[in-house]
Each structure stands twice: as structure tokens, then as C-alpha cells.
A = this chain, B = another copy of it.
Amino acid sequence: MGSAYDAMWERLNLDLNAHAALLEVLGKFYGDIYLSQQGRLKGMEYLDFVISEIHGLRIKELQEAKSQGRKVVGTFCVFVPEEIIWAANGIAVGLCAGAEVGRDKAEEILPRNLCSLIKSFVGFKLARLCPFFESCDLVVGETTCDGKKKTYEIFGDYVPMYVMEIPQMKQEADRELLRKEILRFKEKIESFTGNAITFEALKKAVKMLNDRRRVLQRLNKIRRNHPVPISGRDALLINQISFYDDPERFTQQISKLCDELEERVRQGNGAVPESAVRVMISGCPMAIPNWKLPYVIESSGAVVVFEESCVGSRNTRDLVDESAETMDDLIDALVDRYSRIDCACFTPNEERIANIISAAKEWNVRGVIHYHLNFCQPYEIESFRVEKALAREGIPFISIGTDYSMEDVEQLKTRVQAFIEMISA
């Protein structure tokens, strides 16, 4: 990772020394967790490259696009309808939120008892370590949890914020609220980018993002095979990178990788020994480089074959209907699609429990590892109902609460290993 970008990072007002140190740590971490895997897929070379250039070449691309008048819009959540951003010739990117960075600075303006993800994005910004934040013309938040909702009010002093309201139930009135919020967002993006969104442009963006979802669905389906031809870590990484990379290029590359995976399946080659215990991770999103739990699981004789997560199936399961013939119908199709997200922010949220059970069966997992960030009340509280529902189905379950520090790795290993032994028996 390179000093070739130092001038750009300096222009973006990053803390160069701290940033260099961060990249070094992350590079080593990536080496340990990813590059150490045996019999790596050829197609993962692209992902290795993207990761190595995520603060470099990708930022350079964003800067070049900006110099041509395009706007970069940062998002934190799968509820923000990216289609709107791309249709206005903007670029949607995920933001840095997966590492324990700038925590002390974040805790000067926020409580300590907040989830790592929130403290991380605030910390990345305050410590000047995220070139994505510095490239953003607008940051779009949403009201999916109390922590983010109230943090955005404070964060608005540091970045240009726009907040979208997400309803908390799924009644007809909520659908109307979401529809109005999508239209308000469309107006905001149009006036902000100066580009009116045409039906054709929105339809094209819908298709482009559906293509990205379709290739991730294809990847996920391949993972139903046993032995599974790709590790959970690699699959997670692909899902993570989908939030940062150029969508068309990403889709093309992952499509090639899927060809390679299908070939592996034909040959009966697994990424891990056939004896590896198939498990699902379910719960909170895992942003780059939050690979701790998957690594602990896959070092314990198991393999993750499904992520029931915003960085996983929650983001890719549902497509936008492409058959709309008017703008109104296309907006309705967006509302339909985004209304189907089974986030713990909804009450009730029975769909999520049903979706976990059906995925557990279809992906033939031996157990569900429920994962929440400490202080994430929606997912932590919901885990109690998930546990009960899985018990009724006879599916083993363990609940893991953690954060971004490395302090609990040994404890996690002990718990995860005991769980995996139990379900292998």
C-alpha cells in the first residue's frame, strides 16, 4: 500500500502518519486472516487487489469523477436507495466503520456505551483516517436505531448530513411514509447534483444494482454445495467490497469468480475440508475490516456458509421489480423492495425469524451463531426471540456480543469452539 497516494491523502487532509500506521496494521491483519488461507481461488486476486487499493486507487477514481462534476454520496445502511444516487450520475459509497479507530476522539462527543460501528465512523472522521469521508459531498444517514439517529445530529457538525426516516412498522401508513421519504431523497439528490432523474436513468440504475444483487445471490446459492467451494471469510469480503467498488466492474469480476466456483463444485473441491461444520452468522452488519468472528469460527473447525446480515443476505435477497413503465411505478417498486428488508429496527419482525429458519434449512447449517455489537439493542433484544424460534426448530444457537477490540478473542474462541464441538457431536 502506497506512498504513491500521499499527495492525494494530504490534499484530503488525512492524518498521514496515523493513516500509514493504520494501513500497515490492516495489511498485516489481512495477510493473517485472508492470504494465509490454503488453495485460494484465482478470482480472489481481484478482491485482494481492491482491498490493497481501497484507500488508494478507489479514492483516486472518486476524485477523478468529482473533478468531472460527479457527486460522491456516502451511506451507512442498506436502507438508503442507492438507485437514486446513481440515477443522478452520483456515486454511492459505503463509509469506514469497521475498525476500532479514533475511539478516544469519538468518546469526547458521544457516550461510551455505544456500539463499535457508530464510534468507529465518528472516530474515522475525527481522526482524519477515512478518505471516503473526505471524498463525500454528502453523507446520508437513516433512523434505523437510536444510536445512529441521535449520533447523526452531532455528526452533522463535522460532515454534510442528510437523514432519511425509516418507519418502524410495516403497515400501509409506513409504506406511505417510506414512499414520501424516497421521494424527498430523490428531490434532495436532484437538487444537490443538479441532475434531474429521468425514468430511463433510474431504470438503468435499478438494473445495475439488481445485477450486483443477482451476482451475490448466485454466489450465495453456490455456497449451498457441500463441500462449500469458498470460505465464509472470502464470501464476507466480497459482500463488504460490494459497498465500495464500482458496481459494474464488481458484478463482472464476481461473475467470473462464480464461474470458477461452479467449476470447483463440478470437481467436488471444497475450500475447507469436507468435515468442516456448516454454520450461519446472523445479526449485525460486519464492515471492513471486521473479520474477527468469522476468523474465530473458521479457525475452530467450522465454515460460514451464510451471512444473515446487512452485509450479506439482508442486502442481496430482494430485487427491485424491473417491469415498471412509469416513474411512479418505479418508485413503487423501490418502496416494495426496501420495505421487504427484515431489519431488527421493525416491530414486529417475524419475517427475519422465518428467513433465518428457511436459510438454515436451505444452506443446511448445523448451527446459527447470532452476532450483535455490544449496545446494539435492536439485534441483541431480538436475539432472544430468534433463539426461542430456532429451539422450536431444533437448530442449535449461540449468541455472541462483541465489539471491535481484540481483547475478547480468546474468550470468543473458547465459546465458539465449545459450540462447534457441541454441534459436531
Contacts and interface: CB of A to CB of B under 8 A. Distances in A.
Interface of A: 109-111, 113-114, 143, 145-147, 149-154, 163, 165, 167-169, 171, 173-174, 176-177, 180-181, 184, 344-345, 347-349, 374-375, 377-378, 380-382, 384-385, 401
A278 B177 CA distance: 44
Given A177-B173, A347-B143, A114 B377 contact: yes
A385 B156 CA distance: 11
What's the number of copies of this chain in the assembled complex? 2
Given A150-B347, A378-B146, A384-B109, A181 B177 contact: no
With most chain B CB atoms within 10 A of its CB, the pick from A165, A174, A181, A381 is A381
A150 B358 CA distance: 23
Contacts of A169: 143, 165
Given A113-B113, A173-B176, A147 B181 contact: no
A76 to B, nearest CB: 14
A374 B344 contact: no
A381 B143 contact: no
B381 A111 contact: yes
A184 to B, nearest CB: 8
Contact of A375 (B113, B167, B174, B347): B113
A184 B172 CA distance: 12
B171 A377 contact: no
Nearest to A150: B381
A174 B173 contact: no
A41 B180 CA distance: 54
Contacts of A176: 173, 176-177
Contacts of A345: 146
Given A149-B168, A173-B181, A174-B177, A113 B380 contact: yes
A169 B151 CA distance: 15
B111 A153 contact: no
Contacts of A168: 143, 149, 165, 168
A168 B180 CA distance: 14
B174 A111 contact: no
Contact of A177 (B146, B149, B177): B177
Q: What are the 3 tightest A-B residue pairs by CB atom distance, in nearest-first order?
A: A150-B381, A146-B377, A173-B180
